[in-house]
Amino acid sequence: MTKRHGERPPVPEALPVPAVDSHTHLDACGAKNADDVRALLDRAAAAGVDRVVTVADDLASARWAAEAATWDDRVFAAVALHPTRTSSFGDAERAELTALARRPRVVAIGETGLDYYWDYSSTADQHAAFRWHIGLSKLVDKPLMIHDREAHDDILKILDEEGAPSTVVFHCFSGDLAFARACVERGFVLSFAGTVTFRNAHALREAAKRTPADHVLVETDAPFLTPHPFRGRPNEPYAANYTLRDLATLREVDLGELAATVTRNAERVFRLGDVAES
């Protein structure tokens, strides 16, 4: 049977309760303008995913995300410099990111953190940039969205040293149960992507099963990390539906209950109600 790697998965039946995709990259999904964004969000809405946070990984993406969040009320933004992009990070970049972070529809500082898998930026550059982003999160009083790849211990060490912002989200959580507990003890929120549906991700699935409900978010990280059974095919925000269904089964809870829970969590973490009223 052909795996049809170039085709998007089918749009699934709508969730019984609308949910939020807490981390996606609409520009990387191919969106360039307001019409493209609307088309992506309409497909998501058909699956019961009614809002998204589109996340930047470099300065150009941050500019685009902040602007795209003004094109459609279903879209919010997060801005930061990805840890693999921190080899050139000077005063001009810091000033522009600070200005973007103050925009009302920018609801988080992210994604920032550490990535020890790729070697595009030195450890020293990554650490310095991560510490600066922690400070920015505190300055603008918006959640910090963490990228953590093979850097669990150092992420926690730096957060402890700097003093974590009031809200911290581990995007695409990748740790085991012990690391999940260390994060939850600090009050951090764990966002689970399509990787949690992978049948060989035993330690991650155990962490997702046991994380307290009020610390759980769901995301796509689209166009990456498409959930099982469509792994390897292009991802979009509507596929958060598949991850939610798998998580509900894993956690042995009703799908509608889980969708309502992650929606309440997203609204609390990103203060989406405050944005809508501003």
Token pair of 118 as six digits: 């790729």
Q: What is the DSSP string of 155-197?
A: HHHHHHHH---S-EEETT----HHHHHHHHHTT-EEEE-GGGG
Which residues, listed in sequence order, are joined to residue 55 by a DSSP beta bridge? Answer: 78
- The helix (run of H) or strand (run of E) holding residue 52 is strand 49-55
215 is in an annotated binding site: no
127 is in an annotated binding site: no
Nearest 5°: phi and psi at 29? -75, -5
154 is in an annotated binding site: no
Find the angle CA(31)-CA(270)-CA(78) to the nearest 5 degrees: 40
171 is in an annotated binding site: yes
5 is in an annotated binding site: no
Label residue 202 exposed, middle or buried (CB < 10 Å: 0-12, 13-18, 19+): exposed
Q: Which CB contacts under 8 angstroms, 24+ apart, belong to 164-169?
A: 164/134, 164/188, 165/134, 165/137, 165/138, 166/141, 167/142, 167/143, 167/269, 168/143, 168/144, 169/22, 169/108, 169/110, 169/143, 169/144, 169/145, 169/217, 169/269
82 is in an annotated binding site: no
Give the annotated binding-site residues. Answer: 23, 25, 111, 147, 171, 221
Q: Which residues are annotated as a binding site for a divalent metal cation?
A: 23, 25, 111, 147, 171, 221
